[in-house]
Amino acid sequence: MNLATIARSAAAFALSTALASSAFAADVKLSNGSVWKGDVGEKVRATYVVNGKELTVDGTVVRAEKNLVVVEVMENGKAVRKTIVSFDLRKLETLADGEKPAPAGSGSRPADAPKSGGGNANAGKKDGERTTSPTAAMPRIFVLPMEGMVGTGMRHDEIETVAKEADKYGPGQIIVLLINSGGGLVIEGDKIHATMKEVKKRHRVVAWIKMAISAAAFTALHCDEIYFMRVGALGSITMYSGTTAISGRELDAWLVKVGEASEIGGRPPIIGQAMVTNPIECSYDRDENGNITWYSTMQGKYKLSDSKENLTLNADNALHSKFSDGTADTVEELAKVMQLKEWKEEDGGRRIHASWQRLLKQCIDQKTFLMNDYQNPAGSDGEAVLGNQIKTLTEIIRWYERCYPGMVYESPNFPPSETEGEAPEEMKRQLAQLKKQLGEMKKRDRN
């Protein structure tokens, strides 16, 4: 499968997803408290604020939620998706058939510009006739540190848990994934892929990058907004089978999935795919208005990766190419580049992270002692020895249930099981056999 085929496959997937949801009706809240009522697939004109500048774009709604809308627009002949959250959204107008579109990224229309009818419940109404209160609650912020190996320290489980915490305040909360990871398990990346697609339907999910390599970079690509720390790095999403990089059909499938993740985050597939394998090149041009044109060749003025090296972005070239949305080292700086009026952080994200890290460390610390106790059981007679082995093996099985990733993926590694979250069946049979031996020994002693 060549790159063109991969790109077509990813584009077909995105199109089918949009068409499948074309009958979905939604109420989108605007910054002034008014509500746009419409459907996915409608042509709209959106006026919103980016970095203090008010812009207007015309496009097609491909996703609409209470607290955000995703509009697909054409820029330099290419379809680009723009995610606009409620508190940045000044106007959202349904376009009448044949109405002349505004240029992408143009200045805002005058306040008295005509509005069409269609799905907009507020069309033609004065400001005093809006359907909702003009005061919208500020979203809560949940910062989830994601550190260590993907699959142990950085997992889909914590993303799901923090999303449930955010759900308590309703849709449209902000989840900041503070990523500092050198990568890890592909199987966990698949789980994160599914989780991120679901969580993004309800909340604004943001990546804040200190280090995001391999599977950690794959996670970040799903986010509509990515912010770098000044020392931040993101890329090199190479998949390995053992110690060898994958190739052939396996590589083709991985390229499609990474390209899909890039599109989910509103970026061209080529960016993520250039992070996977070095034969794929990536460059871009930037015009005087800051518009970016991406290439899968070296024809662009700004070269990011050639045929010898996988793409890894830093804070500077990520910002210049508009891959990132800003640079921030502190929450105060992050609030500013995210255009937040205040930083209203809940403790749920950091608490969830700390709880899992404590359990993981405890598991890793206990494993060495448990292994030694099982292999060298204490006891002055046979019954005592068997009793201590049973006690130790029971504790080992319990740790599989409490912290499976710590048992299997962190050194010293215990064997994996057929069912994640459980001990191997052989280990369970061994425990049953030890209990049987102890019972027979006690029976002989009584006789």
Q: Note whether 158 and 286 are same-domain residues.
A: yes
pLDDT computed for residue 52 by the predictor: 65
Domain of 60?
A: 3-129
pLDDT computed for residue 243 by the predictor: 66
At 16-27, the pLDDT tens digits run 333 333 334 578
Q: Output the domain CATH number for residue 224.
A: 3.90.226.10
Q: Note whether 154 and 16 are same-domain residues.
A: no
SS3 annotation, the chain: CCHHHHHHHHHHHHHHHHHHCCCCEEEEECCCCCEEEEECCCEEEEEEEECCEEEEEEEEEEEEECCEEEEEEEECCEEEEEEEEHHHEEEEEECCCCCCCCCCCEECCCCCCCCCCCCCCCCCCCHHHCCCCCCCCCCCEEEEEEECCECCCECHHHHHHHHHHHHCCCCCCEEEEEEEECCECHHHHHHHHHHHHHHCCCCEEEEEEEEEECHHHHHHHCCCEEEECCCCEEECCCCEECCEECCHHHHHHHHHHHHHHHHHCCCCHHHHHHCCCCCCCEEEEECCCCCEEEECCCCCCEEEECCCCCCEEEHHHHHHCCCCCEECCCHHHHHHHCCCCCCCEECHHHHHHHHHHHHHHHHHHHHHHHHHHHHCCCCCCHHHHHHHHHHHHHHHHHHHHHCHHHHHHCCCCCCCCCCCCCCCHHHHHHHHHHHHHHHHHHHHHHC
**Of 326, 346, 366, which residue sits at a domain end?**
346
Q: Note whether 174 and 281 are same-domain residues.
A: yes
Q: Output the domain CATH number for residue 89.
A: 2.30.30.520
Our count of domains for the chain comes to: 3
**Of 346, 364, 385, which residue sits at a domain end?**
346
For residue 306, being part of any structural domain is answered with yes
**Of 291, 323, 346, which residue sits at a domain end?**
346
pLDDT computed for residue 88 by the predictor: 78
Q: Note whether 18 and 148 are same-domain residues.
A: no
Q: Note whether 42 and 162 are same-domain residues.
A: no
- The pTM for the full model equals 0.69
| Most confident of the following: 134-138, 359-363, 411-415 | 359-363
pLDDT computed for residue 135 by the predictor: 37
Q: Note whether 166 and 310 are same-domain residues.
A: yes
Q: Note whether 181 and 232 are same-domain residues.
A: yes
Mean pLDDT of the chain: 82
For residue 376, being part of any structural domain is answered with yes
For residue 364, being part of any structural domain is answered with yes
Q: Note whether 286 and 224 are same-domain residues.
A: yes
